[in-house]
Amino acid sequence: MTQELSPIDKAKFVAARRSVDYIEDGMRVGLGTGSTAAWMVRCLGERMREEGLRITGVPTSSRTADLARKMGIKVVSLDEAKWLDVTIDGADEFDGDLNLIKGGGGALLQEKIVATASDRMVVITDSAKEVKTLGAFPLPLEVIPFGWQTTRALIEETLVNMDVLGREVSLRMNDDVPYMTDEGNYILDLHLRRIGNPRQLSLVVNQVPGIVENGLFIDIADVVVIGHGDGAVEVRDLADGSVREGHVDVDESTNIFTDI
C-alpha cells in the first residue's frame, strides 16, 4: 500500500465490506461502477478466495468488468444471466426514501438496467451523500450524439416548467472532447440545485427526443449501507423500516489494499 486510507476511503471501504454479506454462494450479482463499487468488487473477490464463494457477476461498465476479472470473478452479460439476485452499487446522492442520483461515473444507463433486473438493489455509500432533497449533485442524462445541442435546448425549455432551482445544462467533457459512455453516447449534466419532484422530472425528461436515460433511480433501491470514516456502518432497509448499526475493522495490511 502506498499510503494510508483517508477517512472518506475508509467510509467507502467499510460500506463495501458490509454489503458483500448480502451475497450468498451461487448468486448472480450485479456489480456497480464507481469508487465505492470498486471496493465492493475487491471485497467480493476476497470472500471468494477465503471462503470458496462461487458467484456470477454482471458488471455495469467495462471498468468494473476489468476489475472483476482481475479479482477472479466470473463475468457474464446480463443477457446470459437473464435475472439477478442482487445488485450492489454506489450513489452520488440519496434521500430518505432511497431515491438516488447516479451517473457521476458515466455508467447510469447500464447501472439502471442491471439494477432493475435484480430482486434487490443494495446501495453502498458514505454519510456525505445523504441529502434531504436531491439535486445538489448534477443530474446526468445519457443522450445520443446526433443532434445533442438540439436535445440540450429542448431540455432547457422543459426545465422551465419543472420544480427545480437551476436550469444550467452542460456537456460532460473528457479533456477537450466529449465524454463518451460504453454505449457510445454523450452525457449532459443538469445543474438543478434542488429537485422538488424527482418522480415527475424523471418521467418528463425521458420524453425528450435524444435522451436515452436519466440518472434518477426512483423506487429501485431496497437497502442502503452507509459507511463512516471511523469504521461505523449503518444499514437501512426500506422494506421493513429497520436501521441496524455495526462496525467494520479496517486492517490495511490485508491483501485487498496491496495495490492501492
For the annotated binding site, the residues are 33-36, 89-92, 102-105, 129
Q: Please report the sign of the dihedral spanned by the C-alpha atoms of residue 217, residue 219, residue 220, residue 222.
A: positive
**Which of 221, 219, 197, 239 shows the shortest CA–CA distance to 91?**
221
For the question of residue 111 being annotated catalytic, the response is yes
Q: Are 154 and 209 in contact, with CB atoms under 8 Å apart?
A: yes
Q: How far apart are CA 49 and CA 66, in angstroms?
A: 18
Contact 20, 47 (CB under 8 A): yes
Binding positions for substrate: 33-36, 89-92, 102-105, 129
Do 66 and 91 touch, CB atoms closer than 8 A?
no
Distance CA 221, CA 217 (A): 7
Is-contact 205 168, C-beta < 8 A? no
Which of the residues 46, 111, 142, 213 is marked catalytic? 111
What would the grid cell of residue 109 be? 444507463
Residues annotated as catalytic (active site), given as ranges: 111
